[in-house]
């Protein structure tokens, strides 16, 4: 079986929630599905393209945070979109292999 959101293989048994339709590969995809209206209408490229990257020459500080539980590119895009909605955050770059967000 594959994840309803990102099409990666799901564990046995897959992650589910009675309030969220579908079966998911990780907690990140389940939480993204809980947040969006129709998880089958979201794809990685669309989610990633919707994240504002911010200007390269912006003044400010850079912080690296540890984020455990990211499993796929959908998780990265969701973390980035949530971070950039916060006041004072101009850009965010998440990496599920390193479990960090910049």
pLDDT digits over 47-60, tens only?
Answer: 566 555 555 555 77
How far does CA 51 lie from the centroid of its chain?
10
Find the mean pLDDT for residues 15-26: 89
Residues 1/16, Cβ–Cβ less than 8 Å: no
Find the mean pLDDT for residues 17-46: 77
pLDDT of 62 higher than 70? yes
Q: How confident is the model at residue 42 (pLDDT cuts 50, 70, 90)?
A: low
- Determine the Cα–Cα distance for residues 9 and 78; give it in Å rounded to an integer: 19
Regarding pTM above 0.75, the answer is no
Q: Which residues contact 51 (CB under 8 A, 6 or more apart)?
A: 77, 80, 81, 84, 92
**What is the structure's pLDDT at 84?**
86
Three-state secondary-structure class, residue 89: coil
């Amino acid at each position: 079986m594959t994840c309803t959101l990102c099409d990666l293989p799901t564990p046995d048994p897959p992650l589910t929630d009675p309030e969220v339709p579908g079966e998911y590969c990780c907690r990140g995809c389940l939480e993204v599905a809980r947040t969006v209206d129709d998880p089958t209408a979201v794809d990685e490229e669309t989610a990633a393209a919707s994240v504002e990257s911010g200007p390269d020459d912006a003044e400010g500080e850079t912080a690296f945070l540890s984020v455990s539980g990211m499993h796929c590119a959908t998780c990265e895009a969701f973390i980035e979109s949530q971070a950039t909605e916060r006041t004072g955050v101009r850009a965010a770059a998440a990496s599920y292999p390193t479990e960090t967000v910049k």
